[in-house]
Amino acid sequence: MSGAHILFEASPSPPGAPGARGPCATRRHNVAMNKTLLITGGSRGIGAATALRAAAQGWDVAVNYTRDAAAAQQVAAAVRALGRQAWVLQADVGDEAQVLAMFEALDRTAPVLCGLVNNAGVVDRAARVDAMDGARLQRMFAVNVLGTFWCAREAVKRMSTRHGGTGGAIVNLSSAAARLGAPGQYVDYAAAKGAVDVFTLGLAKEVATEGVRVNAVRPGIIETDIHASGGQPDRAAQMAPLVPMQRAGSADEVARAIVWLLSDEASYTTGSVLDVTGGR
């Protein structure tokens, strides 16, 4: 599918809804504007948990999805139930044209972008490197690496003081696989997430004087649907004994770290990669 489509128009915040504060809060035409967070892959798992955590902290949320419109609608409805505005944006972040269309659509409805969570990602079936074809590798890096670059680039254009913005924060989703290599499973995924780690460090230094903080969260074994998409629905339970805490983590536990990095509580934190791995 091409372009980005808004399925929900934002509803006004109800009287008494908490207002946004922080470096990205601004006023336009004497009207206070709330801060907007874009979450890619926000319709499920860590993305959905982050949307709810962020809304509870006063963020308006744009939920990006690729295929599951119904799930994205449910997340947006839950955000609105917390008194915040919500938008639903369809775009495959592995396609640059769709990323551009998504940001243009967001500009028309929620112009004060203050945060980006690069959560969209894909994994594939367990395989050795010598069994991976070009199509698999191209998709793996298009979504996990290029999509992260493209979304961060567009966010910087809107948030950086160099471009007339008022600052903001970016959180990229990495993986413990970047440290472990994932041999015999998905070295391609691990390599892609390793690229995200390096990108986080470089971009953070590049925009450090422009009001934009860039960090990453590196989840370990987390109970989400991504394991099923890789053909191993029970992987989290099977891997739990390898974790020092002897259990898999939850999407909400990762979301807590993400929302902290987005917040003013992390105002002096940039270029960091935070492990949420239960000690693994």
Enumerate the active-site residues. Answer: 189
d(CA 262, CA 13): 21
d(CA 11, CA 94): 29
Q: Which one-letter DSSP state was computed for residue 17? A: P
Let me know: does 74 contact 52? Beta carbons within 8 Å: no
Token pair, residue 140, equals 């793996």
Let me know: does 86 contact 80? Beta carbons within 8 Å: yes
Helices and strands (H, E) in the chain, number of each type: 10, 9
Q: Which one-letter DSSP state was computed for residue 6? A: B
Q: Which one-letter DSSP state was computed for residue 8? A: S
Let me know: does 61 contact 39? Beta carbons within 8 Å: yes
Let me know: does 273 contact 261? Beta carbons within 8 Å: no
Q: Calculate ∠ Cα 24-27-28, nearest 5°.
A: 125
